[in-house]
Amino acid sequence: MINTKNTNTKSQLAKLLATENITVQENNVKTASFDVVNRILTLPIFKTDSKDVTDMLIAHECAHALYTPTDGWNKHADDDELRSYVNVLEDTRIDKLVQKKYPGIVNNYLNGFDILNSKNFFGVKDKDINTDLMLIDKINLRSKSMNRLPFNFSNEENKWLDLVDSIKSFTDVIKVAKLLLNWQKKQVDKLKKLPNFDELSIIKNYDLSKSKQDNKKDDMSVDGSGNNNDKKEADKQDASTGNTESDSKQDKPAVGDKTQKVDGTEKQSGGPVSAGGNNKPLTSITNNWFEGQKEKLMDTETSYVYKSIPDPILNQIIRSNKDFVADMKKAFANDQYGYAKNYYPYLKKEYKKFLNDSKKTIMYLVKEFEMKKAATAYKRSTQDKTGVIDPLKLKNYKFSDDIFKRLTILPDAKNHGMMMLLDWSGSMSDSIFKTVQQLIQLVYFCHKTNIPYEVYFFSSEFNRDPNTSRLSSNSLSNDFRYKIGDMAIDNIKLVNVASHKLKKIQLDESMMYLYWLALQYHTRYISWRDYDPMNRIPESPSTPVEYYLGSTPLNEALVVMLKLIPMFKEKYRIEKMNFITLTDGGGNYGSGRVFGMEDGKMSPILEKGDNPVLIFKKKQYKLNRTGWGRGDSLTAMLLNMIRKLNNVRTIGFYLIKRVRNYDTDRFFRDYDSKLSWEQKDRITAQKRKDFTKNKVAIVTMDGYDDYYLVNAKDMKVENTDISQVNSDMKIGQIKQLFSKSMKGRITSRVLLNKFIEKVA
């Protein structure tokens, strides 16, 4: 399953709040930041159970990215007291702005605050909010609660509230913060004159007692610099590691960041924020407490790698059918050993024989397909009155109004379409011939039924050096338009071997050459004597190096299909589209690189992180770990994208070479914890028995609507010879032979048979 719900929901909210077309990413960060060059908004990963809390936090972070200038924070990074006041007043300003612009999030703020306050996220549990807090914290809670807490402000405090409410810009924030901080210092100085100063709850809350202040002075050095022995020792250690004060100041916080570097370690502004900790004087204790508690809402372990899908250049990636046939003709024409002269007539004869043997079965299945389509249409038919009186019903006019003729209305047949991908990898070598035989019959079936179709095989072998025939050391495909953040794609070519656009004579020629390529590998990997005991087959020309079997760039091919399939559907107005993959294993994972800036230029850089997220058409798709490897997970994700974005039915045929328990158990074994081991073994044994009998099994596979496990050992197309029929045979014997012939013809055509079941 693709997990897109949370990511896309947050992304949509963030984009709405940012009021522009941007890329929104979650990652292991503490606060939001906005890359103005690449237009990427990065948000922390929140792990709350409440949608209101999540949306409130996202809205707040987006508001920082929208309204808070980065340089504004940096100017006050070294003054903890002023920075704390600026934090509170800036939060007040931006929250009002974003709530005014998007009234729909006001309820999120209201509910979100109530939930967090009930969990003591602001540290005011068991405190009297009127007597135990300084004005900066009252302002903070007043804003966060949206004026719903029972504060009793004095006349002087109300004047400050009016000033806070009049803030319009970040410059105003700085100005008011300085004035308020100076005013608060004077208020503390007045309190110091009271005899019970140390006993006041507000003084205890802010750790301002005279005794503690005196202890802090005792810790100072004689010159009053505050650099005690421990500090000097720390400085020596920093010097030994190369860390200097100027170095630490270069690490500037991002937009909205409320952390800074102090003595080489990262601390929240305002000092330690844990319960019972010593806060620095005159900082907002509610803001400090919240920043510390907010870490509980963040996923600090998960990190993502965001990769956009690049735009494929189709006319460079796709090898046209015209070019494919030209390559094959060239191979025969340039045969240096002269084998082509004798082999070409043999090839034409063998291929024609194969077509003739298959023709009757194909026509039988075409008729069956049309019958199934008609039956389905009739099942969906409706009846309506024509308005013409039916004479046979006139006798019923006294007790029935239904005396009119009826018309049966059949719904229009849907326009079918098909695209197919054939695996042209080395592991297919010993089953490629049987697979191509099945494929050719499927092609002619589509041709007979006038179904628009395209058939490609995907290959990794077209980046060979023309002089040495060796694969290039650079595996990166140059047939995509890349930009920063795009995933790097390994070499991929799609070779068009069949199309509904071809005339019959062109299709025959193309299929004959595909038959030849497959036959080459078939005879290479079986005993020559078993295949041709009489040594009647002439030597064949060599296969062009570009058409060697290579790796399995299935995922790379699916990336191309994301663009190709919707174009095909739109061009031919396809209503019922089927996309078929035919392979014998999982696809390559890919290059594992993402385009970024390196040495001043755009280059593919090795990705870092274990959780890839694909970005396609501004939507994000998280890669869940399914299947047997990263390649399988990526395949499932890409197939699900193809299905859901284009309303396509995905059908997979997986060719399994061996039917050992090890090879089949991952498809057949039921891992339901409610079942006993004996029940699981019994179910698995039955599935394996059915698979052996039927040569095919339907199994579950993420990304596919239908996934067929096909016994590649038994894929050989059967054309039982009924010429044995003679006049001496009894009727029962003739019937049995004919029945066996038709059953063998149909059941051996696994691909065609299953395809008809699904598309009719």
Note the pLDDT of residue 27.
Answer: 81
| Residue 47 domain-assigned (yes or no) | no
Do 276 and 325 belong together in one domain? no
| Residue 421 domain-assigned (yes or no) | yes
| Residue 425 domain-assigned (yes or no) | yes
Highest-pLDDT range among 252-256, 549-553, 664-668: 549-553
Closest CA to 476 of 553, 423, 564: 553
Question: Which DSSP state fits 149?
Answer: S
For the stretch 516-575, pLDDT in tens is 999 888 776 555 555 555 556 788 899 999 999 999 999 999 999 999 999 999 999 998
Note the pLDDT of residue 233.
Answer: 44
Residue 683 has pLDDT above 70, yes or no: yes
Residue 144 has pLDDT above 70, yes or no: yes
Here the CATH number for the domain that contains residue 749 is: 3.40.50.410
What is the DSSP track for 202-244?
HHHHTT--HHHHHHHHHTS-TTSS---HHHHHHHHHHHHHT--
Do 606 and 570 belong together in one domain? yes
Do 618 and 732 belong together in one domain? yes
Q: Which of 238, 265, 297 is the last residue of a domain?
A: 297
Question: Which DSSP state fits 283?
Answer: S
Please give the Cα distance from 424 to 553 (Å, whole number): 9
pLDDT confidence of 495, banded at 50, 70, 90? very high
Do 415 and 505 belong together in one domain? yes
Strand partners, 695: none
HSE-up of 394 (CA within 13 Å, CB side)?
5
Do 451 and 540 belong together in one domain? yes
Do 651 and 598 belong together in one domain? yes
Q: Which of 297, 325, 347 is the last residue of a domain?
A: 297
Question: Which H/E stretch holds residue 493?
Answer: strand 493-499
pLDDT averaged over the chain? Answer: 77
Cα-Cα end-to-end distance for the chain: 28
Do 348 and 261 belong together in one domain? no
Do 483 and 341 belong together in one domain? yes
| Residue 30 domain-assigned (yes or no) | no
Residue 3 has pLDDT above 60, yes or no: no
Do 289 and 392 belong together in one domain? no
Structural domain count, the chain: 2
Least confident segment among 128-132, 226-230, 252-256, 436-440: 252-256
Least confident segment among 62-76, 116-130, 329-343, 734-748: 734-748
C-beta of residue 550 within 8 angstroms of C-beta of residue 392: no
Note the pLDDT of residue 657.
Answer: 67
| Residue 203 domain-assigned (yes or no) | yes
Do 471 and 563 belong together in one domain? yes
| Residue 137 domain-assigned (yes or no) | yes
Q: Which of 273, 297, 321 is the last residue of a domain?
A: 297
Do 141 and 194 belong together in one domain? yes
Q: Tell me the residue range of the domain where 128 lies.
A: 72-208+257-297
Do 560 and 529 belong together in one domain? yes
| Residue 61 domain-assigned (yes or no) | no
Note the pLDDT of residue 200.
Answer: 81
| Residue 511 domain-assigned (yes or no) | yes
Report the predicted TM-score, pTM, of the whole model to 2 decimal places.
Answer: 0.70
